[in-house]
Amino acid sequence: MDREALMQQSLAETVVVPQLSPTARRRQIREKAIAGIITLMAFTGIAALVLIIVFVAKEALALFTDAHAREEASFSKMFLPQVARQGRPPTFTWQPVSSIPKVSMIPLFIGTLKTTFVSMLVAVPLGVAGALFAAEFAPRRLREFLKPIIELLAGIPSVVLGFFALMVLATLLQDTFGFTYRLNAVVAGLGLALAIVPVIFTVAEDALTAVPRSYREASLALGATPWETAWKVVLPAAAPGILAACVLGFGRAIGETMIILMASGNAAIVSSSLGDSVRSLSATIAAEMGEVVVGSPHYSLLFFIGVELFVFTFVLNMVASVWTKKVLKRLTGGAS
């Protein structure tokens, strides 16, 4: 049947539609309106995302188009060591407000990685183990009590966590470990872990409870202990979900600003020690956006950092989803 005929047919059909009662017609109109509104909302979300990317990237574009900015913040200056002081060996320095701006991204990358590393080191074992306990071993009543408490932790504003890390954790850790700097990567990382644990816990717990009962029963029927069942059957079966939890946590750790801004000391140092103060990418944007001369290379640079953060989380999510698919395939023998 060609299109013409189809059109004819559909027209013919519309003709023979029986007259609707006014109430039914009103209902139909309402349905249509609601459907329209919902569609509009969905598109608004997508549009907002696209517009955010476009506008942030647009501000950063000057780094590539503007000659002055290209000279001041070229890629070699961002990623290769530069001579910061006369007669000194070249170093990685972040000093964008200077007679000769130094815009090395390396200390910021290192700072971000340090805090993220510390927080993941603490939050992943805690979150996953907590979820495993809640899903597999906790008596019902304890679980009903445990879950809301941990989810409440997720609701604490990061400013509060940052203040806690700045005032309480920092002093405590300095007294315990004798750090030279009161504010350092460990303090910031621990503060960050407080924000990430509930995220990982919640998602991992959902993934673990979603594992079919039949798996557990089969394992137990074969003579495995509850612990073996949890560790060798349920946990691998929930692996994709747990991975997703870790990725979510990681994304939050990279992007988290307030806790780092308050508790890390914000010194852009290149070192391997976790006891040194650090400056992260996101905290740099937050700290410097307020004063920067609008339209200057420094301004574009801050937006460029924003784009970098965006790209990081995007790539991370892509890798994670591909990996999750692979894991799923292996677990289900390619059935799904």
Considering the complex, state which of residue 143 and residue 182 has its C-beta at the smaller distance from other proteins.
Answer: 182
Query: Looking at 57, 84, 106, 146, which residue binds other proteins (CB under 8 A)?
Result: 84
Kindly state the smallest distance separating residue 296's Cβ from other proteins, in Å: 7
The answer to whether 261 touches 188, Cβ cutoff 8 Å, is: no
Closest CA to 190 of 206, 174, 212: 174
107 binds other proteins (CB under 8 A): yes
Considering the complex, state which of residue 101 and residue 236 has its C-beta at the smaller distance from other proteins.
Answer: 101
Site for other proteins in 119-158 (CB under 8 A): none
Considering the complex, state which of residue 47 and residue 218 has its C-beta at the smaller distance from other proteins.
Answer: 47
Stretch that binds other proteins, among 88-96, 122-130, 189-197, 306-314 (CB under 8 A): 88-96
- Site map for other proteins, 13-52, x if CB under 8 A? --------------------------xx--xx--x---x-
Query: Looking at 123, 183, 186, 208, which residue binds other proteins (CB under 8 A)?
Result: 183
Q: How many residues bind other proteins (CB under 8 A)?
A: 43
For helices 281-288 and 239-255, the axis angle rounded to 10 degrees is 30
**Any alpha helices (H) in the chain, and if so which ranges?**
3-15, 22-60, 62-65, 67-72, 75-79, 106-132, 140-154, 158-164, 170-177, 185-209, 213-221, 226-229, 235-237, 239-255, 258-263, 281-288, 297-332
Query: Looking at 239, 267, 307, 327, which residue binds other proteins (CB under 8 A)?
Result: 267
- Say which residues have a Cβ less than 8 Å from residue 267's Cβ, sequence separation at least 6: 181, 276, 277, 278, 279
Closest CA to 234 of 214, 253, 254: 214
Q: How far is CA 83 from CA 245, 248, 270, in A?
A: 42, 38, 15
Neighbours of 138 (CB within 10 A): 16
Considering the complex, state which of residue 192 and residue 200 has its C-beta at the smaller distance from other proteins.
Answer: 192
265 binds other proteins (CB under 8 A): yes
Query: Looking at 108, 110, 181, 190, which residue binds other proteins (CB under 8 A)?
Result: 181
Query: Looking at 8, 171, 225, 332, which residue binds other proteins (CB under 8 A)?
Result: 171
- Site map for other proteins, 268-307, x if CB under 8 A? xxx-----xx-x-------xx-xxxxxxx-----------
The DSSP call for residue 270 is -
Kindly state the smallest distance separating residue 180's Cβ from other proteins, in Å: 5
CA distance 167 to 152: 22
5 binds other proteins (CB under 8 A): no
Polymer length of the chain = 336
Chain residues that interact with other proteins, rule: CB under 8 A: 39-40, 43-44, 47, 51, 84-85, 91, 93-99, 102, 107, 170-171, 180-183, 261, 265-270, 276-277, 279, 287-288, 290-296
